[in-house]
Structure 1
Amino acid sequence: MKAAIDQRELWGHLGWQDVKQRYRRSTIGPLWITISMAVTAAALGGLYSQLFDQPIGTFMPYVTVGFMIWYFISACVLEGTETFIANEGLIRFLPAPLMIYVFRTVWRQVLFFAHNLVVYVIVLAIFFPELTRPYQMVHNGVMHPGLGWSALFAIPAFVLIVINGLWVTLLFGIIATRFRDIPPVVSSFMQLFFTMTPIIWTTDLLKGGRAGSPRSIVDFVAKLNPFYHFIEIFRAPLVGQVQSWTHWAVCGVITVVGWALALIALRNYRSRVAYWV
């Protein structure tokens, strides 16, 4: 781990080259990342605000931030399964720690996230008055305090998400290198988790259901979804919503358990990855 951190110039350069290579010969280059994010947020935010009968001034930022952090998390999971396979040539001929390729993958996603962050700034500028006063996402729902200094909690939240992205990339990368059926299986499950995670819908819609009712069951299932907690610790501060410390507790437990599993896998199988690729 320390050796990989010391070689940050190497994985930092490789990650930046990945971004440049993806948009090589493109006129506007990586700005396509921002444009794609803006179109997705505008289209789905506008559509679902009408379907759910929610004010667009608060729903659009909600959807935008949800997509931003979901893209980062899902990319760490999906590209994490390919991280060692995609670096086969370097692994075979470059005597470097495996963590370099993990850092490279996650750093690339951080760069993509930075481009998407521009979309949030634009949306915030447009809907700033609606977000800075108390509001409800649904009629007779939870009253959210509005945007304030608590938005700074998004910084440690993103750091925690990046830390989790590292162990996910490491653990899934090792497993997927040994078992090549893992990437398509993970991809299928991520599509399922996308629909189950409150990204384009809000859990405020589920409040007030009687015990045993479909709404209360869906609310309970949503809270079992680990992606929900990671999204909430980042999104809630940026859209001025009430944030439960339960989300931080769940994310903390997942971080500790995840890193323990990843380090065990690294200790036991690091020497075999070069043969598996």
Structure 2
Amino acid sequence: MVLVVRGAADVLGGFGAWRMWWMLAKNDVVRRYRRSRVGQLWLTLSMAVLIFGMGAVYSSLFGTSMADYLPHLGTGLVLWGLISSTINESCSGFTENESIIRQIALPRFTYLLRTISRNLFVFAHNLIILPILYLVTGSPVNWHILLFIPGLLLVLANLAWVGYLLAILSARFRDIPQIVASIVQVAFFISPVVFKPSQLRVDHPVLILNPFASMLEVMREPLLGNLPSVTAYLILLGLLVFGWLFTLAFAGKYSHRVVYWL
């Protein structure tokens, strides 16, 4: 219990240092496209090309129309970009901030919030594509879209504990980022990003035992005008509770050692 309280104090302290991680996150995105004529619009353009390119190929492979398939694929790729990049970049959350950690005493969770915020900026740029995509394909939009916000918050809360845990482990074991990147790459192919969940039976292990499928469902279905399943919410809520309890205890014991591992 003491370790959980210690870990929770670090997390709360990280949120308290919001000026630091917000400024660093914005600077990360701006710096990436400095001196570019198009600037941050490259984020949106590259995602749009990927969506329409893959849509043209996979709609013919699955024998479905572009108008029916593109909203599913486009929404899935944009949401998967947020999930995968947050997990992968969280592994280097402490190592990329080594110089700051060695000089300034900030809560460790501050650096993870920098990573999450940076990926939210990128996600916001890519999100611009979806209204245009829905308009072009005639995809229905209804009040279910309001459920996207709580779904997004639920996913981010889960990504936060996963990222915090991976950041600590990656600081100690430098092979972790490569292992995580490989797992995320495999997860892309077994998660309903390219294919539709309706192509599998409802109780298929890919949909039940794969937490990425639940993350995609609670965010994508409201955007497509559908209601997510109760099962997806229960899976993510269960992961949220048990994941944070374990991570807080783990962080309470090991987060203060990060500076010695860098």
Q: Do they fold alike, i.e. is TM over 0.5? A: yes
* SS of match in other structure, 1:201: coil
Q: Paired residues, what number? A: 252
* SS of match in other structure, 1:83: coil
Aligned to 2:143: 149
Q: Does 1:6 align with 2:16?
A: yes
Deviation, 1:115, is 0.2
> What amino acid is the match of 1:149?
W
> What amino acid is the match of 2:206?
V
* SS of match in other structure, 1:271: helix
Aligned to 1:177: 171
Deviation, 1:242, is 4.6
> What amino acid is the match of 1:152?
L
Query: What is the percentage of aligned positions where both structures have the same residue?
Result: 35
Map of 1:6-85 to 2, 5 A cutoff? 6-85=16-95
Aligned to 2:259: 274
Does structure 2 conserve the Cα–Cα contact (< 8 Å) formed by 1:76 and 1:168? Answer: no
Does structure 2 conserve the Cα–Cα contact (< 8 Å) formed by 1:65 and 1:120? Answer: yes
Q: Does 1:187 align with 2:197?
A: no
Map of 1:84-103 to 2, 5 A cutoff? 84-103=94-113
Question: What is the CA–CA distance in structure 2 between the aligned matches of 1:40 and 1:253, rounded to whole Å?
Answer: 34
Aligned to 2:245: 260
In the alignment, structure 2 segments of 5+ residues that lack a partner are: 1-10
The one-character-per-residue Cα deviations of 1:140-181 (angstroms, maximum 9, x if unpaired) are: xxxxxxx31011101110111111221111110001111111
Does structure 2 conserve the Cα–Cα contact (< 8 Å) formed by 1:171 and 1:261? Answer: no
Deviation, 1:243, is 2.4
Deviation, 1:25, is 1.4
Does structure 1 conserve the Cα–Cα contact (< 8 Å) formed by 2:143 and 2:225? Answer: no
**Which of residues 152, 156, 160 is equivalent to 1:162?**
156
Deviation, 1:58, is 2.4
Across the aligned residues of Structure 1 and Structure 2, the Cα RMSD in angstroms comes to 1.4
Does structure 1 conserve the Cα–Cα contact (< 8 Å) formed by 2:144 and 2:226? Answer: no
> What amino acid is the match of 1:272?
R
Deviation, 1:68, is 0.9
> What amino acid is the match of 2:205?
F
In the alignment, structure 1 segments of 5+ residues that lack a partner are: 133-146, 209-215
The one-character-per-residue Cα deviations of 1:51-80 (angstroms, maximum 9, x if unpaired) are: 101122121011111011111111111001
Aligned to 1:224: 209
Question: What is the CA–CA distance in structure 2 between the aligned matches of 1:52 and 1:86, rounded to whole Å?
Answer: 42
Aligned to 1:120: 130
> What amino acid is the match of 1:10?
M
* SS of match in other structure, 1:227: helix
Question: What is the CA–CA distance in structure 1 between the aligned matches of 2:179 and 2:217, rounded to whole Å?
Answer: 26
Question: What is the CA–CA distance in structure 1 between the aligned matches of 2:164 and 2:205, rounded to whole Å?
Answer: 30
- Alignment TM-score, normalising by the size of structure 1: 0.88
- Alignment TM-score, normalising by the size of structure 2: 0.92
Question: What is the CA–CA distance in structure 2 between the aligned matches of 1:177 and 1:124, rounded to whole Å?
Answer: 42
> What amino acid is the match of 2:228?
Q
Aligned to 1:202: 196
Does structure 1 conserve the Cα–Cα contact (< 8 Å) formed by 2:144 and 2:227? Answer: no
Does structure 1 conserve the Cα–Cα contact (< 8 Å) formed by 2:72 and 2:224? Answer: yes
> What amino acid is the match of 1:252?
L
Question: What is the CA–CA distance in structure 1 between the aligned matches of 2:16 and 2:47, rounded to whole Å?
Answer: 33
Does structure 2 conserve the Cα–Cα contact (< 8 Å) formed by 1:196 and 1:222? Answer: no
Does structure 2 conserve the Cα–Cα contact (< 8 Å) formed by 1:76 and 1:105? Answer: yes
Deviation, 1:191, is 1.0
Q: Does 1:235 align with 2:245?
A: no
Does structure 2 conserve the Cα–Cα contact (< 8 Å) formed by 1:82 and 1:173? Answer: yes
Deviation, 1:20, is 0.8
Bigger RCO of structures 1 and 2 (CA < 8 A, at least 6 apart):
2
Question: What is the CA–CA distance in structure 1 between the aligned matches of 2:65 and 2:228, rounded to whole Å?
Answer: 20
